[in-house]
Structures are given as structure tokens and as C-alpha cells.
Amino acid sequence: MDNNDTKRISRLTGILIQLQSKRLLTSTTLAQKFGVSIRTIYRDIKALEQAGVPIIAEDGKGYSLMEGYRIPPVMFTENEANALITLEQIVLKNSDSSLIEAYTDAISKIKAVLLYKAQDKVELLANRIAISPVIQNKRTSSSLTVIQNALTAFKVLNITYQSEKNQQTERRIEPFALYYTLQESWALIAYCQLRKDYRMFRLDRIEKIETLELHFKPHDITLASYLKDKMEKFQNP
């Protein structure tokens, strides 16, 4: 097998991973990602189809994988594993306990698919990384994963919220985006059905949270436009 064959196999595997991780990809995006021509991507897609991969081509939109199709678990390189192990130490200092639990479970699965030699190395690295004790390790919330799931499923949340003035209200909100503040705590940007407007809710002030079997339409605004509007209002009160 020559170098060109090796590169193509690596690229075909990479295209599969990209298609599995995203709903729809254009040939232009794939060409830019792998540094090849669009014509080469066309040939690669055809080769994958001939190998039995169920790729759906949507005219004028791009490519996607047939619903339910999955490729085998991906093997991580040593550099990729090292990056995730390093981030683990930072995540353990995070203010939301549900995020810590989910990330710890994910790291365990990642370690399980590493080669034995790589497992020894990441274990050594994990024992050689420390976070300054100046950084607080206080848990202030446990609802981040619940919010993430509701946000991606477009489900309404019912929350009991404690304001800065210690006023408690019950609200139905439509989760829109998550924001990490300078105080090292999470905040949820959501459309509040009570106030009929977008609000920012600190997760450490959410006393109770419940996911309702009520769906809402995806919001028209983007996170970038929302943050730009907030910044303009802050600079020009």
C-alpha cells in the first residue's frame, strides 16, 4: 500500500466520522476540511457508497448518513487522549456536578478503547496535572445536563427561580443557550413565557427544575446576535 492509498483510506474514514457527527455536510465543506478538490470528494463519496455506506445526497444541500447507521467506535490518538485527560482536571473544578459526572463517565469510556500502551501514558499524565488550589471547587448547580437535553430537544422547562432579591417565582422557559460567566458559574439564556422576553438565569439560583413534555419552535435569533444586542445595551444604557 503506497502513501496515496494510506492518505485516501484516512480521508474516507475522516469523511465517515464527519458525516456521523453532523446532520448535513456539503462537498465544499468536506473539501476544505481535508484539503482536496470538490471532484475528489465526489469520488470519495461514490467509493463509500459502493462499499455499502448508506449516504443520502440532497440536491443543493449536501450529504448525510441514513438514520440509524453507525460506524464502529473511533480509536483516539495519543494527542487526542492527552487533550481530553488534561481537560478532565479542569472540568473537575467546574461548578455544575451533573457536568462533572457526565464527563467522568465519558473519560472512562475513552480510556477503555485506548491501546494498553496509550492507557499507561494517559494515566501517567493524569497523575502529573494539578489545578491551583486558589480556584474554588464549590458545587453551585446540578442541572446543566438536564438543560442541555431540553435545549437540543426543544422542550419547555418548568423552574423555580430565586432572584437576587430573594424573590421566588415559578416559570416556564424555553432554553436557548448556555453562557459561562467570569464568576466561573453557568447561566442559561432562555425565553421566559412569564416575562414574554429572553432572560438570563443563573443555574445556582434554580431551586427546582423539571422537563415538560411540551415542545417549542426553534428560536429565530442566533446566540451571536443576542450577545451583540446585550453588549450594545450595556455600553449604551
Question: Is the predicted pLDDT of residue 201 greater than 90, yes or no?
Answer: yes
Q: pLDDT, tens digit, for every residue of 62-109?
A: 998 887 776 666 667 778 888 888 888 788 878 888 988 888 888 887
Nearest-angstrom CA–CA distance, 157 and 35:
43
pLDDT value of position 139: 65
pLDDT value at position 116? 65
pLDDT band at 158 (very low <50, low <70, confident <90, very high): very high
Residues 47-64: what's their mean pLDDT?
88
Pick among 3.30.420.480, 2.30.30.520, 3.40.50.150, 1.10.1740.110: CATH of 144-235: 2.30.30.520
pLDDT tens, position by position, 4-48: 667 788 888 888 888 877 778 899 999 998 999 999 999 999 999
If one compares 232 and 115, the residue with the highest pLDDT of the two is 232
- Count Cβ atoms below 10 Å from residue 93 Cβ, excluding itself: 14
Q: CA angle, 38 as apex, 34 and 40 as ends, to 5°?
A: 75
User: Which comes out higher in pLDDT, residue 212 or 61?
Assistant: 212
pLDDT for 165 beyond 80 = yes
Check pLDDT > 80 for residue 197.
Answer: yes
Domain layout of the chain by residue ranges: 3-65, 78-126, 144-235
| Predicted local distance difference test score (pLDDT) of residue 123 | 82
Do 103 and 91 form a contact (C-beta atoms < 8 A)?
A: yes
The whole-model pTM stands at: 0.66
Q: What is the pLDDT of residues 204-229, one digit of tens each?
A: 999 999 999 999 999 999 999 999 98
Q: So what's the pLDDT on residue 135?
A: 62
The pLDDT, as a whole number, for residue 71 is: 64
Per-position DSSP letters for 141-204, written without gaps between them? BS-HHHHHHHHHHTEEEEEEEE-TTS-EEEEEEEEEEEEE-TTS-EEEEEEETTTTEEEEEEGG
113 has pLDDT over 60 = yes
3-65 — its CATH code? 1.10.10.10
Judged against a pLDDT cut of 90, whether residue 172 lies above it is answered with yes
Q: How confident is the model at residue 233 (pLDDT cuts 50, 70, 90)?
A: confident
Q: What share of the chain is helix, strand, coil (3-state, %, to 5)?
A: 45, 25, 30
pLDDT at 121 over 70: yes
DSSP 220: S
pLDDT score for 177 = 95
